[in-house]
Each structure stands twice: as C-alpha cells, then as structure tokens.
Amino acid sequence: MPSFFAFFVVSGFCGLVYEVVWLRLAMARFGVTTPTVSIVLSVFMAGLALGSWSVGRLAARVTGDRPRTLVRWYGMTELLIASSGAVVPVALAYGQRLLALGGGGVGWGSGTYYVASAAWICVALLPFCVGMGATFPLAMGAIRSLVSGRQARYSFGHLYLANVMGATGGTLASAFVLIELLGFRGTLAVAAGLNALLGTLALVVSRHWIRGHEESAPPVEPAVVPAAGWHSSEGAGAALFSTGFASMAMEVIWTRQFTPYLGTVVYSFALILATYLVATFAGSRLYRLRLRSAAPIATRPPGVAVFSALGVLGVSSLLAADFRLPLPGGMGGGLIRVVLGIGPFCALLGFVTPLLVDRWSRGDPGRAGLAYATNTVGCILGPLAAGFLLLPAVGERWAVLALALLLFLVAALRLRPSLQTGVTRPLRLLWIPGVAVVVAVAITLATADFDQGIPNAVVRRDATATVIACGEGMGKQLLVNGIGMTTLTPVTKMMAHLPLAFLRTPARRALTICFGMGTTFRSVLSWGIESRGVELVPSVPLLFGYFHPDGPQLLKLPNAKVSIDDGRRYLERSGEAYDVIIIDPPPPPEAAGSSLLYSREFYEAVRKHLRPGGIVQQWLPWGGPTMVAAFAQALRASFPYVRVFRSLEGWGFHFLASAEPIPATSARELAGRMPPAAVRDMLEWGPAATAAAQIDLVLAQEFPLADLISRAPTTAALDDDRPINEYFLMRRTFRRMNRPGNPLVKPLVPRS
C-alpha cells in the first residue's frame, strides 16, 4: 500500500503536467479556440473513463491469481504513458501539416476542420489517456490480492488521495517552475522520465516485495458489494455522474467569475486549479482519517444533508465574486476570493467522491473502474454544457444556480431508500433540500456580478467569453472577462495608417488580427481597399456599433469582412495574400496564450501571407527588457527588415517588419500617399492638425531594433516552446530585470 501511494503521487503529478502541455501543444497546432480546448479536455477525460472501465473489468477477472500479473501490467502501462513524451508532440505536428495540406480530402471549412482535428487529437492522445485511466483498477486489483479487510475494501480512496496530492504538485510545479526553466518540451520530458521510472520500478523492484506477499497473503475475499446503480437504493452512479458534471461545469464558470480579480496570466488559472486540488485533497484526507478511526460517517453513504450542503456551497462562489465584497485588489485579493468561493465546495467534494466509489466497489477493481468512469463521463459533459449552453444563455449567476439545483435533485433522490421503511422519515428529511434550495436562490438574488458594478454596461456572453462595453465619448472601453482590452485612441488608427503609408505601391487588401473595438479595421476601410478582420470572441464584433456609430453600415460594405477565428489558425486556413497584416494582441502581453501571436513560428506563418513588399505591423503595448528583447529577436528571425516606433501617446511600440527594405521616408511624403478619407480618419481624434504633423510625431520616436535587443542580449527569440512573456515569475523574482530604476536596465533613447 505505501508503495502504490508513492506511485500514484508521482502519477498524478505527471498526469496534470501532460494535460497542461498537451493542451498548449494542441492550441499551437489547431487554434486557440473554445472548440479546440473542449476537444482536448474531452479526449483526456474520455480516455480516463475508457481505461478505468475496460481495464477494471479485465483486472477483476485476474484478482484471484498471483498479483505479479497485475503489477506487471501496471508497470507496462506506465511505460506506455512515458512514451507519450516523444510521440504526442510529433503526432500533433504531423496532424497539423496533414490538415494544412488538405490530406485525405479534408477541407478547411470550420466544421470539417474541427471534425478532422478532433479525430487527429483523439488518435494522438487517446491511447495514453486510456493508460492513465487503467492505472486505478490495476493498482486496486494488485492491492486486493496482497492485503485484506478494510485496506482492500477502501483502496480507491487511498489511491485517489495520492493522485490528487500529485496533481496539486504537478499544477504548481509546471506553472511556477518547470515551463519557465525548461519550456514545454522539457517539462514533458520530465514527466515522461518520471513515468518511465515508475514503470521500471513496478517491473523490477516489485518482484522482490511481491514474492514475500504471495507466500503470506490471505485468500482474496469475495467482494461484498451492496446493490448500487442508477436506480438502486444508493443511486451511486447518478450521484457520481452528477458531482462530476457539476464540479467541472463550475470550474469553467469559476474561470470567468474570478478572472476580473486575478487577471489573465497563466498563474491566475494555475491558482484556481491548485485551490480546487488542494481543497479536494483536504476533503479526501479527512475521509481517510475518518475511515481509519472507523467513524460511521466514513462508511455510510452520503445522504440528503451532504448533497444539499454541496449545492449551497456550489453557489458560494457568487458571494466571493461579488464586486461589493471589501477585499484588497490584485492577485492576493483575488486568491482570497477563490479560496472562499470554491474551497469549501471542493473539500466536501473531495470527501464525497472517494466515499461513493469505495461504497460502490468495496475494493472490486471492475466496479471501481465503472464508478470512476461514470464520474469521468460527468466531467466530460459538464464543461461542454457550461461553456456552450449555460454561460451563453443565462450567464454565470444562473448557470451556477442551475448546477446547484442538479445537486439538490440528487439530494432529494437520496430519500428513496427510506421509502421501504415508511413515509415518516422521508417527509421529515424533505425539509433539508427544501431549505437548501431557498438558501441557494437567496444567495443568487442577493449577490452582484462584476458587470453590475459598471454603470450602463452593455454585456454580451458567448461560449468564449463575457464581453462588456461601457463608458461614453472618448472614455468608452471594451472589457473581455472583466479585463480592459482597449479604448478609443489614435494609437489604434496609426496601426493601420503607418504601414499602409509606407508601402511602395498602393495596397489592395489588409488583414487585422484581433478586431477589438474595430478602430483599426475601420481605418483600413478609409483607404478604400479590402479590409479583413479576425476576432476570437464572437461577441466582440457585435459591439462595433457601440464604439463607432457607422460600424454596422461599414460591415455591410462588399470590401469588409470579419471572421470569428483564432488569428493563427485563420492564416493557416487561408490562401489569401495581403499587402499589410496588422496584429494587435489583447493586453496584457503576459496573458495566457498570448505568445502564440508573438512567437517565431507565428511570424513564419504571417510571412507566407504577405505580398512582395508587404509589411507587418505588430503592436506591443509594454513589457520589461527581457520580454521586449525576446519579442524583437523573434521578429528579426523571421523578417530581415524591422523598424520600431514609439506610439503617439508615448506608450507601446509599433513594429514594422518586411522581407524587403522599409526606406526612411519623410512624414510629408507618407502623408501625400494617403487618400483624403484616410487623412480625415487619422486626424479624427488628433492630436495633430495635419497628416504630416501626426505622422512626424511617430517618426520622431524611432528606436533601433538592436537597442531593444541589447537591453537583454542573452535572451533567446520567443518561440512556441519557450513563451518567455507568459512565464516570468522566477525571472522577476530572482533577477529583478524589470523593476523600474534597475541600474541594469538601459533607458530607451529615441533615434534623432
């Protein structure tokens, strides 16, 4: 038992690392879209369910034999999982190339593409996910053959506790240490090495301690399992499915609820997941302690009160996410909200889940595999229902209440066993879920969402994000999941006018990646050319008219088109070439996933879609010396000619890159290339009175690219494997390279 506990700590660590890295690799290959994320997570969970169910049935048939067979199978399974470190990155990259070439007759239409990419992701990931799911029943079968009594009957809870402990470590280590130091592939190699070590130990070392156990182990006790199922007296199947469904659906909702307080960096999402796992571990640990003390509550099936409490605790996230709650700002205050909002719910869930599985299985690996698979199926369907149905239809508040009502329904169903003994007890206990429903509804009605604290906010929700438009006049703002994206500023106009004016020949078509308020897209149209826009969040273009009254009319023009897609994926799906490609990633530049629009691989894809003499305009709002140097190195690696200008308002940089020289041209000459409509558009918000004067404000603040790189000369080019901008905690903590006033940081001096 101690050996298997250690095995599952390490296995849980590796499992979370794989999930994080595989998701990122898939997004880089197939697009940073909600369907892609859903596909990867669904395949991961489906593999766990399939492995636990199928191998559980197989393990149940051999538990009467010597345990060496099961331990060998366990070892070989760990070695199979270890091979994923080499296989999965290659398989995903090959699948991307195959789809990009239209292999097998696969078209690039969105529906067809997602079906094809889902099939390929399934081929790449599923065998290894099945292996992960198989480890539970294999270990349980071996334990049942080696020990007897309570240890064997409640072995799932023992392994579950170890797995959650390891998963917590994997979440924190990968996000806060490993990826920053080793990159995604290096982190994957660490996990693969640990799995290989587990497999080797199971195959070699276990031979010594199993031999002694086989000689002295008691005969295997037949599993005494009470009737359990979807319509049984305990209804364990329905309870496991419902808790898995509700908990994973709530995890999707929590991300939206707490993003306004935590931000969009990878550490924010890691803290939410780590809180979930730490609280789950605490609940599982409490279950094991109560089980060890032979307390009746540890072996009694969870009843109406437990599931009623789960439902009430489920809506407590609304209390913690209420903008009126007097807590400090920043990530510290956000973490307090997360702990208060989801900690108690996850702790109780951590107590209930292993208890339900242990009650259903009584140590039988076949039944444990089925129970775990049932819970996992709920975990698959919950996020899909939350992301694609509940959140777009009713928003965070009512989605949380709907999931709580599901748990209250399970609580009411727990009254069914008492019907065999009369009606007095059910009627007496019926008040518990009734009161719980009243409490949950009261919390839902009494609390306020983040957007309710914004006067006259216009809110749109979809499967990707909650979008808010607010403010008046030049104070209008666009917020996505509570984070400010952009404002009305002449900077976004210059993103279009500057590169278009630098072209040696008149432009015919321009592409804007990241639509935002639509200001840049609108400025391109003022040149009388084709304007294409790409936006990841479906609700964002719907608010074009809020920021620009002529927006709806502009979208009806034959030369205007906006596509809902990931910008990188759009380029790979498109065969069109452009004179100018404008990239304006959402702030902050440290946001999770943002490096996929700043990396060397992305610029290689951009370059393929530029016409001869075409120019890329890349906006970088801010960044420390290491981040800026990594970004500049990536751009220089893809384009031989790069010019850099400080923006009109003195913050952020316009990077202009091309495969051909971008000549030094006077502001007067550049202004002379602009059509009258473009001049009017550029001067709409000032600050200068003429086009030449406005352009000169930018040209006067040019910086040599080498100066940006020299501020951190040892920094490598930003690429998909080493997202320097996203993973920065250790660098900023120990090197303090980005602290204002640091003598190691050279001040930027404009080129005169």
Q: Among 111-125, 340-354, 370-384, 711-725, which stretch is predicted with the lowest mean pLDDT?
A: 111-125
* Domain span at 257: 228-453
Residue 205: predicted pLDDT = 72
Please report whether residue 392 resides in a domain. yes
3-state class (DSSP) for residue 206 = helix
In a domain, 38, yes or no: yes
Mean pLDDT of the region 588-613:
94
Residues 180 and 291 reside in one and the same domain: no
User: 266 and 159, same structural domain?
Assistant: no
pLDDT band at 418 (very low <50, low <70, confident <90, very high): very low
Where residue 581 sits, what CATH number does that domain have? 3.40.50.150
- Are both 401 and 447 inside the same structural domain? yes
The answer as to whether 741 is a domain residue is: no
Residue 689's alpha-carbon distances to 496, 653, 672, 675, 686, in angstroms, are: 19, 22, 15, 16, 7
Same domain, 411 and 506: no
Q: Are residues 206 and 292 in the same domain?
A: no
Q: Do residue 313 and residue 407 come from a single domain?
A: yes
**pLDDT tens digit sequence for 669-691:** 999 999 999 999 999 999 999 99
Phi, then psi, of 623 in degrees rounded to 5: 160, 150
Residue 466 in any domain: the answer is no
How far is 724 from 715, CA to CA, in rounded Å? 9
DSSP H or E stretch at residue 325: none
Residues 210 and 356 in one domain: no
Angle between helices 236-262 and 330-361 (to 10 degrees): 170
Segment 591-599 shows an average pLDDT of 93
Tell me which amino acid residue 401 is.
L
Residues above pLDDT 70, as percent of the chain: 87
Distance CA(273)–CA(70), nearest Å, equals: 32
- Which residue among 437, 453, 469 closes a domain? 453
Inside any domain, residue 752: no
Q: What percent of the chain has pLDDT over 90?
A: 69
Bridge partner list, 580: 510, 615
Query: Within this chain, do residues 195 and 100 fall inside the same structural domain, yes or no?
Result: yes
Residue at 566 is within a domain: yes
If asked whether residues 167 and 267 sit together in one domain, one would say no
- Domain end: 404, 430, 453, which one? 453
- Tens of pLDDT along 490-540? 999 999 999 999 999 999 999 999 999 999 999 999 999 999 999 999 999
Residues 587 and 687 in one domain: yes
Count of domains for the chain:
3
CATH of the domain at 368: 1.20.1250.20
Give the whole-angstrom CA distance, residue 185 versus residue 751.
40
Is 721 contained in some domain? yes
Whether 67 is covered by a domain: the verdict is yes
- Same domain, residue pair 284 and 194: no
CA 299 – CA 718 distance, rounded (Å): 53
497/553 same-domain check = yes
